[in-house]
Structure 1
Amino acid sequence: MTSASNNSLPQNNQSAIAAQPSYVVLPRDSELNGNRFEFVADFLKWKFNQISAEVWAERITQGKVHWQDGNLISATTPYVATKRVYYYREVEFETKVPFKERILFKNDHSIVVFKPHFLPVTPGGNYVNECLIHRVRKTTGIDTVAPAHRLDKDTAGIILLTTKPETRHQYHQLFLDGNIDKRYQAVAKLTKQILSEYQQGELALPQHWTVKNRLKRGEPSFTMRVAEGEANTHSEISLVEIKGEYGLFELSPITGKMHQLRVHMQSLGMPLLDDKFYPELQPKSLDFVNPMQLLAKKLSYIDPVTNQALSFEVEGLSLP
């Protein structure tokens, strides 16, 4: 089993401002639900109301908000629908993730990376620069690095990144068309029935499930749940090894909804080992121990730009 047990490593929490700007497109009046804004500053205060008006005023005064061409936005810059406003995310304390990513492959249009547990792919929440995209941009010197697909912060494994905006859509299309093969591994505690059947010699491995159901946003909104209605998700899941009360699973997500494999394993009565969201949301923790046992182990595809057949695989999980 992979384990991020370096709890003694320094977390080095400190305030941080994003090295790369984020942006928001100013909506048209018809998209603002009756709201009207004379100035860009007023929109920002409304749109990002979790940040105080005083903080926005300070950021604008300090030159931290600008148009796409770099021209600064002041407190009285007029609102112009459809224009991009760039700003820099800031957090008072940013937790340092003490685990390193590893570049597996790079060509002129893409980079394949192994992402460790606990590291988010893109900025979010308490993470500004402690994310895979910023690290790879810094390592390679390529400011246009962007993910071709998602991988949860709590999931380790292989992820495909793109480097050129003009060819990015071709890599996105691989996933939209199902022309990429993703293989995962997971560890979970077995149901009593499966364990009993195995111990009595009534269950042969591998044991396979096809899981199709409808997933929608749960409560809180960063979770997912199974809902009534036509299926919008599909996973193929196989139990391939048993040790004690735990099983090693191989998983293939045919669709790519958020938290799909995690919720599908829960729906089988076997939530992933050390999953902090399912079946019950656990309190937030800054301890880098007991990572969720889900690994994006293998990625295979034909590069849409070079037409080269590519396949990448990393060392798998082990049972406790």
Structure 2
Amino acid sequence: MSPKQYLSANPPLPIRDGVAPSYLWLQKGEWSSLLEFLIQRFPDVSSEIWQSRMARGEVVNETGAPYSATSPYRWGGRIFYYREIEAETPIPFEEQILFQDQHILVVDKPHFLPVIPTGRFLHETLLVRLKNKYHFHDLTPIHRLDRETAGVMIFSINLASRGAYQALFQQRTVQKEYEALAPNLIGHELPLTYRSRMAPGTPFFRMQEVPGIANSETRIELIEQISGQVSRYRLHPLSGRKHQLRVHLAALGIPILNDAFYPIALPCKADDMSQPLQLLARSIGFNDPITGQERYFESQRKLVF
């Protein structure tokens, strides 16, 4: 039961500084008050902070009615509130706009910048930056891209046409090409197609390969051998599993340069942004479901060894 950002066109709290309210389903339990539940659910947020938010009318139900410090706990509904982060680390890399029409916004995302608010990132996310700069009320990402990965990212700016673009990714009719720097592959001929069954791993943020029918597939091609140790690869994910490219290259014995998760999880680098993961979402192509045009967008970023 994790809080999520509310992406509806009509949230019960207004968007503030580009940030939509978060919401949380109230689970079944015996808390005497909503405040008691919130203190237990969020141990790092003090009672005084929650009471201050409530006094400002910033903790409300689905209809926008405010809660107070004495409101009883009633499970089954949702509460809405604003996430607040006291000391958010600035990300010193800028996104670039590649394309915009009345339906989509295509962005070239830098390394280290999360797409949506999560964890210790709120304002320093691509979604919030774009909302503040361009004031698109209905801006919503229509696919995923890891914080550590740079490259092409597509957003919907029109609620009426959003489903048509989301369907492209759900139906896997989008041609996605990635680029990676990794050690030279030994013992296999390229190009090759790698398949495996992937499942959530340990720690919780990692994926792992497990026995069973393959549910992930990646086409791997050699672009060039850069040195005696490193090559540049072209990757085509034919499925869309979390961390798929990173898991597959690590399984082949060629983990992507600067990968802090695979093949083993390294200690958190916190705010160190000196060694970006050498993985780039190079391009996305598709047949536009609204205009019928062939669309192709390519990142202008470079992976440097």
Tell me which interval the TM-score lies in, with the shorter structure as reference length: 0.7 to 0.9
* 1:1-320 superposed matches below 5 A: 19-27=18-26, 32=27, 35-36=29-30, 39-79=33-73, 83-191=77-185, 193=187, 207-244=190-227, 245-285=229-269, 286-315=271-300, 317=302, 320=305
Cα distance in structure 2, aligned partners of 1:75 and 1:307: 54
Cα distance in structure 1, aligned partners of 2:187 and 2:211: 26
SS in 2 for 1:300: strand
Shift of the alpha carbon at 1:263?
A: 0.6
Write the letter of the residue equivalent to 1:240: I
Cα distance in structure 1, aligned partners of 2:281 and 2:224: 18
Cα distance in structure 2, aligned partners of 1:114 and 1:236: 23
> In the TM superposition, what whole-angstrom CA distance separates every residue of 1:232-277 from its partner, at most 9, and x where no partner exists?
2111111221122111110111111111111111011100001111
Q: 1:193 to 1:212 in 2, by over 3 A?
A: closer
Cα distance in structure 2, aligned partners of 1:91 and 1:55: 12
Which structure has the higher relative contact order (CA within 8 Å, separation 6+)?
A: 1
Identity of aligned residues (%): 35
Shift of the alpha carbon at 1:25?
A: 4.7
Shift of the alpha carbon at 1:214?
A: 1.4
CA RMSD of aligned residues (A): 2.4
Q: TM-score, structure 2 length as denominator?
A: 0.85
Q: Structure 2 regions of 5+ residues with no counterpart?
A: 1-15
Cα distance in structure 1, aligned partners of 2:139 and 2:76: 24
Q: Structure 1 regions of 5+ residues with no counterpart?
A: 1-16, 195-202
Q: TM-score, structure 1 length as denominator?
A: 0.81
Q: Could you tell which deviates more after superposition, 179-188 or 86-95?
A: 86-95
Shift of the alpha carbon at 1:81?
A: 5.7
Cα distance in structure 2, aligned partners of 1:237 and 1:36: 54
Shift of the alpha carbon at 1:75?
A: 2.2
Cα distance in structure 2, aligned partners of 1:26 and 1:149: 24
> In the TM superposition, what whole-angstrom CA distance separates every residue of 1:26-52 from its partner, at most 9, and x where no partner exists?
35xxxx4x5245644444344444534
1:21–1:87 Cα contact (<8 Å) kept: no
